[in-house]
Amino acid sequence: MIKVAFYDAKPYDIPSFEKYGKERNIEFKFYESKLNEDTVSLAKGYDGVCVFVNDNVNEKVIKELYSLGIKFVVLRCAGFNNVDVKAAFGKIHVYRVPAYSPYAVAEHAVSMLLTMNRRIHKAYIRTREYNFSLSGLTGVDLHGKTVGVIGTGKIGQIFANICKGFGMRVLAYDKFPNPKLDYEYVSLDELFANSDFISLHCPLTDESFHMINDESMSKMKKGVGIINTSRGGLIDASALLNQIKSRKVGFACLDVYEEESNIFFQDKSGHILDDDVFRNLLSMPNVLVTSHQAFLTEEALNNIADTTTQNILNYYAQESNENELCYHCSNIENCKRQRKQKCF
């Protein structure tokens, strides 16, 4: 039986990991605590650790894990900015789940757009209080409107196709346009100038950091609706707040926020939020925030557990695995993975 210490366990993670663990002879010990220098000793006696986005797998933690005999770190997410892969190289193998359900994220983006446009979030609260007035709940027909999709990868394509189904015009921008797609690819400036709604589906990189800022928002239509289910850092949150206050931006739907790591996935009710920008955004009637829940469907959770447990089995089978984070080259993202073996 392979034994894995599972950090930052949430009630929604446990059933799928128990199911796949049982089928694949992997026993998980579920800890609510996040992995960090204080909690690393909980991994004693285990073969590997399973972590999520807010576990801190820094150099010190890796050193300690290695001295405890931990052989692998399996991330149950795609992003790996919280793992010092360089420090792990030669000591501990690191794996991730690159994709779990693009439908989940795209459908969440659409549901945020629909909710905000038709003020469903307001209507829900009103009718519960027997307020059946319609004042202030007017939306627009999506049919015939133009949506700008930034990033036409797995999620962006599904989002764009759903919007086409509504009878919307889709304008697309991608750093690497896909010639196989019959989208109307335009420059970013054209997309900003002509879109009624803009949805972000590109990764966060040095280049895309704060791509939605004062300058880009000044090029947009007055009343534009912005949807971000990608990464918080794509939007300069202070600039967004100002553009909402100035009525330039009609609404914002945010499933991600650039300073989310100490806020999201936790019950903070009863606490005072120190982040003034976030607090102000939350107080706006035309800002809808969900706490990084776009991925959260049964299918995605099953895919995450399936791939993570498969990554563990691959480790023992000595097989090469595309999901292993490699430090052979200086740029992990561009690693071509031509080797037919494990990272080290």
Span of 35-43, 149-157, 243-251, 301-309 interacting with ligand NAI by CB under 6 A: 149-157
Among residue numbers 100 through 129, which ones bind ligand NAI (CB under 6 A)?
102, 105
Site string for ligand NAI, 212-241 (x = CB under 6 A): -----------------xxx----------
Q: How many helices (H) and strands (E) does the chain have?
A: 11, 12
Please give the Cα distance from 10 to 30 (Å, whole number): 9
Site string for ligand NAI, 254-293 (x = CB under 6 A): -xx-----------------------------------x-
For residues 209 and 316, which CB has a smaller minimum distance to ligand NAI in the complex?
209
Span of 42-50, 168-176, 281-289, 324-332 interacting with ligand NAI by CB under 6 A: 168-176
DSSP per-residue codes, 252-308:
EEES--TTGGGTTTS--TTSPP--HHHHHHHH-TTEEE--S-TT-SHHHHHHHHHHH
Say if residues 68 and 35 touch (Cβ distance below 8 Å). no
Q: Cα–chain-centroid distance for residue 40?
A: 25
Please give the Cα distance from 146 to 194 (Å, whole number): 7
Among residue numbers 39 through 78, which ones bind ligand NAI (CB under 6 A)?
78
- Contact between 206 and ligand NAI by CB under 6 A: the answer reads no
Tokens 């996040």 belong to residue? 34
Supply the angle between the helices 120-128 and 102-118 in degrees, to the nearest 10. 60
Q: What DSSP element (H or E) covers 26?
A: strand 26-30
Task: Decide: residue 36, CB within 10 A, 0-12 exposed, 13-18 middle, 19+ buried.
Answer: middle
Alpha-helical runs (H) found in 71-187? 85-88, 102-118, 120-128, 154-165
Site string for ligand NAI, 294-323 (x = CB under 6 A): xx----------------------------
Please give the Cα distance from 10 to 296 (Å, whole number): 12
- Contact between 151 and ligand NAI by CB under 6 A: the answer reads yes
**What are the tokens at 9?**
């366990």
Q: What's the full length of the chain, in residues?
A: 344
Span of 21-29, 123-131, 201-209, 314-322 interacting with ligand NAI by CB under 6 A: 201-209
Q: How many residues bind ligand NAI (CB under 6 A)?
A: 29
Site string for ligand NAI, 73-102 (x = CB under 6 A): -----x--------------------x--x
Q: How far is the CB of 56 from ligand NAI (least distance, A)?
A: 20
Beta bridge partners of 3: 27
- Contact between 160 and ligand NAI by CB under 6 A: the answer reads no
**Nearest to residue 202, comparing CAs of 167, 168, 238, 176?**
176
For residues 70 and 113, which CB has a smaller minimum distance to ligand NAI in the complex?
113
For residues 67 and 81, which CB has a smaller minimum distance to ligand NAI in the complex?
81
| Angle made by CA atoms 139, 254, 259, in degrees to the nearest 5 | 155
Residues marked active site are found at 231, 260, 292
For residues 129 and 207, which CB has a smaller minimum distance to ligand NAI in the complex?
207
- Contact between 331 and ligand NAI by CB under 6 A: the answer reads no
The site for ligand NAI (CB under 6 A) is made up of 78, 99, 102, 105, 150-156, 173-176, 201-203, 205, 207-208, 229-231, 255-256, 292, 294-295
